Structure 1
Amino acid sequence: MRDTQSQTTTLDSLPEIIIRYTGGHRAHDSATTITAFTDEATVVDDGHIYHGIAAIEQWLGQSSTEYTYTIEPIAAQVIDNTHYVVTQHLEGNFPGGTVDLRYQFTLNGNGTLIEQLTIEP
């Protein structure tokens, strides 16, 4: 995703669906988090691609039980009306113990669900 035209925004001014995702993810609430995705959504994380609700739900369950960690959103950018980037600070018992990750969201055409999420440093 290109962000050459991005603008910084406040976390509370992000689309509701991103706020729902980040809140659910932060609370390790997979049931809430999964409702943010389209049925055919794709998540790219740590070199793996998860396509469809079943695969994403499995990824969410695994990521919330494999390590103990906290998540704090620290920055947000608007690329355009369907592309957003949220930088989140994670601390926990995973290798390295701390990392800032860019969560790159692509929303569906009407901005009500997540079509793609790419997570990378």
Structure 2
Amino acid sequence: MNNAYDEIPKYLKQKESNVSKAHKKSKHKHQYAECLIRYKCKWHEKDEISTCLRSYCVICGKIHDRMKNSIVKDYKIKVVTLHGTVYQFISDDDLYEKYHDRLPVFFVDIWNDNYVNLNDENTN
């Protein structure tokens, strides 16, 4: 019988995490602020600029989900229909027009960027 499989190792070797490949490891507690994220997308073979409501860390620029206590109260509207309740979101254009002067705006590659460039705030 082979005892190589029965041996208990004295320690486990450290491995690189395959779950998180973040370039910037956080050595701080993230402090999120609300912002508008603008990005290019292709819709019906036409390039368009979309806008979404998100939050970002004011220290490192990490992009996060929407904030629960948002200043944007009309982002999601409850609509009651004959078939039940549905939620309708404000259009990208209305979101940008109403809030671009009240929130920081960042232009990112939404599919590849996990961080905003803090030096490029309000670049359209």
Rg larger for? 2
Give the structure with the larger helix fraction. 1
**What band does the TM-score fall into relative to the shorter chain?**
under 0.3
TM (norm. structure 1) is: 0.27
Give the structure with the larger strand fraction. 1
